[in-house]
């Protein structure tokens, strides 16, 4: 298998990206195609000991800034690492693309310029894997579509369920819709109309859930509009980080607490791993004609390796073919 | 001052409610009018030592369930504690109403049956006080309006700013709009149109903020639609609770962690107080013709007393008059 990895994705590009790629090449034995400026990649590769053949370089001179706007990115020349890599997926030169780069740019270039939508897909969708008590839920949409129409939502559920089955190894995924209450009468217009469509479908829809239920792992696939999804994810991260900061502050407050904090350090390390979404590595952009896994810009080499592992599973299990069938079925 | 307190509001009604009322009567010297079933209130009052005159009873035989739907509540007879108390505010028999009861029922009865809107108010709005690093932000809307129109949002900002000035003692409140990114181009249609209205107004609008910025106290009044607001609050509570549960679990994992946890118990207690929204007691329903403070059903007597303190401040500072003026000004 050949997997393209954006060498210019993380905030500490290209170091972390390349370290993650090398780790994955060694562990999985696949060819990792590093996409980015050839000279910078070659210079960085000197710090690694890796047998030829496992690593290739695909030159892409332009580096898309993390804060570049999708509209500007679309107007720019097709020589960014994201554009070059997605072209390679489209041409079949590589089997998948993994990147820690600018999500808006990836979504725009994949959907409008390179891979384009799987036939019948109304809107491609960004997902996130949300880890609670070692159970991974897939959330979608988390940012591709800020104003969602009800009829798009069943497709989000179809695509999320296929990914949960094939890659997250969840045999019969439970689908839920995030709302401000579990009752059918709660929610805004979108929620009420979309959950009505889900209830009337043949899908394994278990109903609306509110945030506290997410923490009890009552569902495997959670659908929502991209605006709410993005805020919910950010709220989870911001709150977990805030609580961690409070703990650090309070543990400096008196000698007993300080000693307690020191003794409990391994416990805190285990907790951090459980709320750290970067441990998972990334999550798929679904609905386009190719496997694309997007991760956090702050990912470490291990996170990147984990993202590559997801891409491998998605290719091996032919997620794209399954989505093509699933969407065709849903249209009937 | 005379403040009506719903005796049937908390999950442990009427015990916690009455304990909170008694605490407030003793501390503030105001008359607390307990609204609910006279016999149950009289029986519970026997457990308290309080001088006559500080506590009165207003009989209301019906008890609204926490899960009762607003539509059913509106059809029911006007003999619930919520309805009777709001009538008393309307008639001027009491200066304010404080309740830990069913938010949807309070909003419906206040808006449609009793107090009704302040002239010019497009939609009354539910708020929440959000405590971060001992700085209290007011969030609104957090649930009254699930499908918000852009032109309602500047009024949310006016009402929230007045409350922040008068009751939260914040002289020049900074207004922000919650979005999925700080840039003007981010957000859904509602966010883009509403923040445009705010930018063009004379208000102290500091721009859009995303969740992580909330934790840095960059604003005092944060406006959002009621669906998103409700989910964001619930996500904060659910995440803080989830992290606390992880900590408890991990601290049972090995002897060092267990000892560490035991030593750090006072630190944890201080942290809990900082993320516990019930410590604040309650937050106002704004835009109706009277002071109404609504709190969590799980509030303790101290939380209820704190909610009553907010009601007192709102009456003393004539928040209703200020909102009446503010809305009239805004219409110009």
Adjacent-strand bridge partners of A62? A80
Contact B257 A250 (CB under 8 A): no
Neighbours of A69 (CB within 10 A): 16
- Between A224-233, A234-243, B173-182, the lowest mean confidence (pLDDT) is in A234-243
Instruction: Say yes or no to pLDDT of A128 above 70.
Output: yes
Range of the domain at A207: 127-277
Residue A324 token pair: 């093509």
Q: What is the pLDDT of residue A206?
A: 96
Neighbours of A107 (CB within 10 A): 22
**Residue B100 falls inside a structural domain:** yes
A100: exposed, middle or buried (C-beta count within 10 Å: 0-12, 13-18, 19+)?
A: buried
Mean pLDDT of A256-275: 75
Residue B4 has pLDDT above 90, yes or no: yes
Q: In total, how many domains does chain A have? A: 2
Sheet bearing B135-140, strands edge to edge: B55-59, B31-36, B2-6, B96-99, B291-294, B283-286, B125-132, B135-140, B221-223, B175-178, B205-209
Per-residue pLDDT at B77 exceeds 80: no
In a domain, A327, yes or no: no
Strand A96-99 relative to strand A2-6, pairing: parallel
- pLDDT tens digits, one per residue of A49-87: 887 789 999 999 988 877 788 888 888 778 999 999 999
In chain A, what residues touch B250 (CB-CB under 8 Å)? Answer: 264, 267-268, 270-271
The pLDDT assigned to B277 comes to: 63
Q: Quick one: closest CA in B to A259, which residue?
A: B260
Could you tell me which residues are beta bridge partners of residue B294? B99, B283
Same domain as A164, residue A117:
no
Residue of A137, A62, A159, A136 lying closest to A102 (CA atoms):
A62
Lowest mean pLDDT among A32-41, A111-120, A209-218: A209-218
Spatial separation of the C-alpha atoms in residues B330 and B332, rounded to whole Å: 5
User: Do A303 and A267 belong together in one domain?
Assistant: no
| B99 bridge partner residues | B294
**CA dist list (Å): A30 to A299, A328, B232, B277:** 21, 32, 42, 51
pLDDT greater than 80 at residue B278: no
pLDDT given for residue A114 in this prediction: 96
Q: Which of A128, A127, A132, A129 is nearest to A274 (CA)?
A: A132
A326, A159 Cβ separation under 8 angstroms: yes
- Burial of B91 from C-beta contacts in 10 A (0-12 / 13-18 / 19+): exposed
Mean pLDDT of B71-89: 89
Question: What phi and psi, each to the nearest 5 degrees, are found at residue B162?
Answer: -65, -45
- Is B17 or B330 the better-scoring residue by pLDDT? B17
Q: Is B234 within the bounds of a domain?
A: no
- B7 burial (CB, 10 Å; 0-12 / 13-18 / 19+) is buried
Evaluate if residue B227 carries a pLDDT over 80. yes
C-beta separation of A239 from B239 below 8 A: yes
Same domain, A138 and A263: yes
DSSP state of A117: B
The band of A131, judged by pLDDT with boundaries at 50, 70 and 90, is: confident
How much is the average pLDDT of A127-153? 91
In chain A, the percentage of residues whose pLDDT exceeds 90 is 69
Query: In this structure, are strands A283-286 and A125-132 parallel, antiparallel, or unpaired?
Result: antiparallel
CATH number, position B77: 3.40.718.10
**Percentage, residues of chain B above pLDDT 70:** 99
- Give the Cα separation of A96 and B326 in Å (integer): 57
Half-sphere exposure of B13 (CA within 13 A, CB side): 25
CA distances from B51 to B2, B42, B45, B59, B202 (A): 15, 14, 11, 20, 50
Locate B254 and state its tokens: 């090995």
Query: Does A174 map to a domain?
Result: yes
* One domain for residues A202 and A222: yes
In a domain, B171, yes or no: no
The residue that leads in pLDDT, B50 or A266, is B50
What's residue A277's pLDDT?
Answer: 63
- Please state whether beta strands B125-132 and B135-140 pair in parallel, antiparallel, or not at all (unpaired): antiparallel
> Please, are residues B300 and B17 in contact by the beta-carbon 8 Å criterion?
no
Are A45 and A69 within one domain?
Answer: yes
Same domain, A144 and A270: yes
Judge if A93 and A38 occupy the same domain: yes
Same domain, A146 and A265: yes
Taking the model in full, what pTM does it have? 0.90
Do A232 and A294 fall within a single domain? no
Q: What is the mean pLDDT of residues A197-210?
A: 95
Question: Band of the pLDDT at A293, cuts 50, 70, 90?
Answer: very high
Which residues from chain B sit within 8 angstroms of residue A245, using beta carbons? 215
Inter-chain CB proximity B257 and A266 less than 8 Å = yes
Q: Considering the domain boundaries, does residue B9 fall inside one?
A: yes
Contact A98, A313 (CB under 8 A): no
Instruction: Name every chain B residue with its beta carbon within 8 A of the beta carbon of A260.
Output: 259-265, 267
Separation CA B20–CA A331 (nearest Å): 58
User: B48 by DSSP, 3-state: which?
Assistant: coil
Cα–Cα distance measured from residue A10 to residue B245, given in angstroms and rounded to the nearest whole number: 32
- pLDDT score of A278: 64
> Rounded to whole angstroms, how far apart are CA atoms B106 and B100?
10
Q: What is the pLDDT of residue A78?
A: 86
The yes-or-no verdict on residue A330 having pLDDT over 90 is no
Q: Could you tell me if the ipTM is greater than 0.90? A: no
Confidence of residue A281 (pLDDT cuts 50, 70, 90): confident
Task: Confirm if A271 and A259 have CB atoms less than 8 A apart.
Answer: no
Q: What is the mean pLDDT of chain A?
A: 91
Confidence category of residue A34, pLDDT binned at 50, 70, 90: very high
Confidence of residue B250 (pLDDT cuts 50, 70, 90): confident
A157 contact partners, CB below 8 Å, separation of at least 6? A175, A198, A201, A203, A205, A221, A223
For residues A269 and A306, membership in a common domain is answered with no
Would you call B235 and A263 a contact, using CB atoms and an 8 Å cutoff? no
Q: Is A215 helix (H, G, I), strand (E, B) or coil?
A: coil
pLDDT of residue A152: 97
Q: Are strands A125-132 and A96-99 parallel, antiparallel or unpaired?
A: unpaired
- Would you call B227 and A180 a contact, using CB atoms and an 8 Å cutoff? yes
At A177, the pLDDT band (50, 70, 90 cuts) reads very high
Residues of chain A contacting residue B237, judged by C-beta atoms under 8 Å apart: 211-212
Which helix H or strand E contains B135, and what residues bound it? strand B135-140
Interface test with B, best of A67, A150, A187, A235 (most B CBs within 10 A): A235
Answer whether A275 sits within 8 Å of B234, measured CB to CB.
no
- Using the beta-carbon criterion (under 8 Å), do B261 and A264 form an inter-chain contact? yes
Whether B189 is covered by a domain: the verdict is no
Confidence of residue A154 (pLDDT cuts 50, 70, 90): very high
Minimal CA separation from B264 to chain A, in Å? 4
| Residue of B180, B194, B214 to mutate for A, most A C-beta atoms under 10 A | B180
Is the pLDDT score of A208 beyond 90? Answer: yes
- Residue A238 sits in the same domain as residue A97: no
- A134 and A254 belong to one structural domain: yes
Any idea which residue has 């600018």 for tokens? A102
Provide the number of CB pairs (under 8 Å) joining chain A to chain B.
177
- Please name which of B31, B49, B42, B53 lies closest in space to residue B7, comparing C-alpha atoms: B42
In terms of Cα–Cα distance, which of B115, B114, B95 is closest to B3?
A: B95
Q: Which residue of A has its CA nearest to B181?
A: A231
Q: Which of B189, B215, B260 is the closest to A261 by Cβ?
A: B260
Distance CA A199, CA A195 (A): 6
* Residues B217 and B133: beta-carbon distance below 8 Å: yes
Residue B24 lies inside a defined structural domain of this protein: yes
Q: Which residue of B has its CA nearest to A247?
A: B271
Question: Contact, A295 vs A103, CB < 8 A?
Answer: no
């Amino acid at each position: 298998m050949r997997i393209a990895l954006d060498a210019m994705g993380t905030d500490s590009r290209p170091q972390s990206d390349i370290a993650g790629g090398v780790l994955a090449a060694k562990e999985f034995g696949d060819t990792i195609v590093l996409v980015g400026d050839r000279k910078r990649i070659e210079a960085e590769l000197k710090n690694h000991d890796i047998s030829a053949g496992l690593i290739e370089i695909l030159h892409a001179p332009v580096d898309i800034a993390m804060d570049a706007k999708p509209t500007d990115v679309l107007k720019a020349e097709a020589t960014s690492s994201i554009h070059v890599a997605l072209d390679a997926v489209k041409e079949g030169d590589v089997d998948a693309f993994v990147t820690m780069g600018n999500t808006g740019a990836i979504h725009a270039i994949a959907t409008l310029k390179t891979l384009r939508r799987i036939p019948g897909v109304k809107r491609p969708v960004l997902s996130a894997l949300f880890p609670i008590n070692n159970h991974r839920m897939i959330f979608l949409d988390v940012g591709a579509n800020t104003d969602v129409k009800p009829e798009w939502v069943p497709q989000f559920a179809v695509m999320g369920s296929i990914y949960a089955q094939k890659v997250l190894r969840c045999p019969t995924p439970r689908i839920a819709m995030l709302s401000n209450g579990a009752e059918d009468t709660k929610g805004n217009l979108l929620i009420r109309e979309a959950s009505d469509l889900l209830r009337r479908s043949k899908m394994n829809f278990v109903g609306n859930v509110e945030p506290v239920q997410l923490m009890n792992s009552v569902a495997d696939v959670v659908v929502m509009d991209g605006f709410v999804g993005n805020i919910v994810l950010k709220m989870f991260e911001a709150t977990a980080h805030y609580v961690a900061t409070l703990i650090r502050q309070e543990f400096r407050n008196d000698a007993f607490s300080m000693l307690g904090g020191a003794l409990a350090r391994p416990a805190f390390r285990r907790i951090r791993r459980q709320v750290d979404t970067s441990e998972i590595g990334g999550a798929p952009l679904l609905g386009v004609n190719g496997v694309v896994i997007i991760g956090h810009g702050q990912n470490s080499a291990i996170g990147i390796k984990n993202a590559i592992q997801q891409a491998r599973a998605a290719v091996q299990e032919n997620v794209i073919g399954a989505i093509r069938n699933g969407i065709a079925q849903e249209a009937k």
